[in-house]
Amino acid sequence: MGGDKAPGEIVTGARQVADAGTIKVLLVGLPGGMGDTGDLPLLECSEVIGMDDDPGQGVRRKKDSSLVRAAEAVRDGQAMAMVSAGNTGATMASALLRMGRLPGVIRPAIATPIPDLKKSYPTVMLDAGANAEATSAMLLQFAQMGAAYSTERYGVARPRVALLSIGEEKSKGTPVIKETHAVLAEGGHGEFDFVGNVEGRDFFEDQADVIVTDGFTGNVALKTLEGTLRFLLGTLTGIFSLPEVADAAGVLLPHLLPLAATLDPENTGGAMLLGVDGVCVISHGSSSSVAMVNAITVAHDVAVGGLVDAVAASVTGSG
């Protein structure tokens, strides 16, 4: 039921995946409120948590909402994973409250893939917004969970983990960042290599496979990156649409479209909530059917691949 283009594009994407035959899709929503659902099975609910609803209140009060029911379906083994393009906070709260945290996890975090043309797989940044503040113990676990995710999803054997700061030196940043640097630099925290601090300018420079930060900084950085890409690509589209450059644009477009496609968040498969006892994919609110196909496929693949067990095994410290 969630997302700016729901239910049309969401259901269309779900049907496309199901029609391909490999993945079974269970819709969760209002009967009669989802348009043409074709042959897809429907888990009926009677409520919807809207984009503007308070996440915590929404989950507590709307116990028969599509988000809460989807999380329960995962908890109860009726589904292997949940995918939502709806209210991000409510998606997280539903997953956290119904699936529960993995043992030892202090707080779940949102892991977002960021394409980097200098390597063949994306960089994972976390936390992209689940926790506005983070302690060094939480940031250590983000490093561990992010590394497990990089290994499981992208096959990176021993991911390079970096800490997002405002200078390369270990003396740079807030007290929490400096403390986290010291903890990570000790080593021995798992199957990854700590490569020190990175800065905001390093996202496209193949400096790391996992970039660790608190959810406030991570959310600002991610939205700044996406907003800058959207602004520049939009401005270029305007220039390329000028009548006087039509022929030249026709020559260059075939070279530019693969770049635009690589950078389009629709194609990354969505963000992943790590640290809960189940697979939960958070797709962009603006998700089209293409984004849905990618998100559902990723959710399926990591669920089959054993992501949750790998994340659980990665975490040390206690929650």
Site residues for a second copy, window 121-150 (CB under 8 A)? 129, 132-133
Both tokens of 75, joined, read 């908890």
Site residues for a second copy, window 185-204 (CB under 8 A)? 199-204
Instruction: Tally helices (H) and strands (E) across the chain.
Output: 10, 10
Structural element, H or E, at residue 281 = strand 279-282
Helix locations, the chain, DSSP H: 8-20, 55-61, 66-75, 88-94, 136-154, 175-186, 215-240, 246-263, 289-305, 307-314
Between 59 and 310, whose beta carbon lies closer to a second copy?
59
Residue 235 interacting with a second copy (CB under 8 A) = yes
CB of 81 to a second copy, least distance (A): 26
For 65, phi then psi, to 5°, come to -85, 160
- CA 240, 243, 245, 250 torsion: positive or negative? positive
CB of 111 to a second copy, least distance (A): 16
Binding residues with a second copy: total (CB under 8 A): 56
Residue 230 interacting with a second copy (CB under 8 A) = yes
Peptide bond into 243 cis (omega under 30): no
Q: Are 168 and 185 in contact (CB under 8 A)?
A: no
Site residues for a second copy, window 45-64 (CB under 8 A)? 54
Query: For a second copy, which residue of 38, 46, 119, 166 counts as binding (CB under 8 A)?
Result: 166
Peptide bond into 127 cis (omega under 30): yes
Query: For a second copy, which residue of 92, 111, 143, 221 counts as binding (CB under 8 A)?
Result: 221
Site string for a second copy, 83-122 (x = CB under 8 A): ----------------------------------x-----
* Residues engaged in binding a second copy (CB under 8 A): 54, 117, 129, 132-133, 164-166, 171-175, 177, 199-205, 213, 215-217, 219-233, 235-236, 239-240, 242, 245, 247-252, 255-256, 259, 263
